[in-house]
Amino acid sequence: MHPDLERVLIDTATLQNRVQALGTAIAQTTVNAPELVLVGILKGSLIFMADLMRSIEREVSYDCIAVSSYGASTESSGVVRLNKDLDLDIAGKHVIIVEDIIDSGLTLKYVHDLLLRRNPAALEICALLNKPERRNVNVQVDYRGFDIPNEFVVGYGLDYAERYRNLPYIGVLSPRVYT
Ligand code: IMP
Ligand code: MG
């Protein structure tokens, strides 16, 4: 375990099994959808999306959008900014937004509202992690990996100040690292 962690919350095997199940669920739900597009929210969703995409046994394309709300802090600033828009036209397509973690819900709400205005045939949300205690805007999550307690986690794409994204598991960061 990385020395900056308090404990491992979700190990690699558990992550892989759950991601596989999410991919199977997505393939089943979208069986009648002609075009499926995954939209990953950079940068945190990168590793999750790469694994998820390979567990979906059907034709699928993907794109990325970049937003920021956090900076080098463990609390959301509450202000979401669009840093990079999509390349693909999503009108008429079945779109699934792929996010690493839902905390307040502000980031997802912003991206969901933005993409909805582009007339996709369907717009769903897939989030690996969910902190239910922290939610202050209402977003419907169609595919969810794990509900987790209100602790700051890193690894499998999630960072603190751009660190720890490469850990192959999810761990709880020791508060001494950020206090
Ligand atoms: P929200 O807008 O408050 O829902 O925050 C979502 C974003 O905050 C995620 O995309 C993450 O980048 C970041 N975030 C929230 N909680 C954590 C955490 O525990 N670890 C790492 N990043 C987090
Ligand atoms: Mg982040």
CATH code where residue 122 lies: 3.40.50.2020
- The number of folded domains in the chain is 1
Report how far ligand 2's centroid is from the alpha carbon of 33 (Å).
31
CB 26 near ligand 1, within 6 Å? no
Residue numbers annotated as active site: 103
46 within a domain of the structure (yes/no): yes
Question: Exposed (0-12), middle (13-18) or buried (19+): which is 166, by Cβ within 10 Å?
Answer: exposed
Q: Indicate which atom in ligand 1 lies nearest the CA of residue 102.
A: 4
Percent of the chain with pLDDT over 90: 86
173 within a domain of the structure (yes/no): no
| C-alpha torsion sign, points 83, 88, 90, 93 | negative
7 within a domain of the structure (yes/no): no
- Tell me the average pLDDT across 45-60: 98
48 within a domain of the structure (yes/no): yes
pLDDT band at 133 (very low <50, low <70, confident <90, very high): confident
165 within a domain of the structure (yes/no): no
163 within a domain of the structure (yes/no): no
Q: Whose CA is nearest to atom 5 of ligand 1?
A: 103
Q: Rounded to whole angstroms, how far apart are CA atoms 11 and 109?
A: 29
Q: What is the mean pLDDT of the chain?
A: 94
Residue 136: the pLDDT is: 83
Residue 72: the pLDDT is: 52
115 within a domain of the structure (yes/no): yes
Per the structure, the complete domain to which residue 38 belongs is given by 13-151
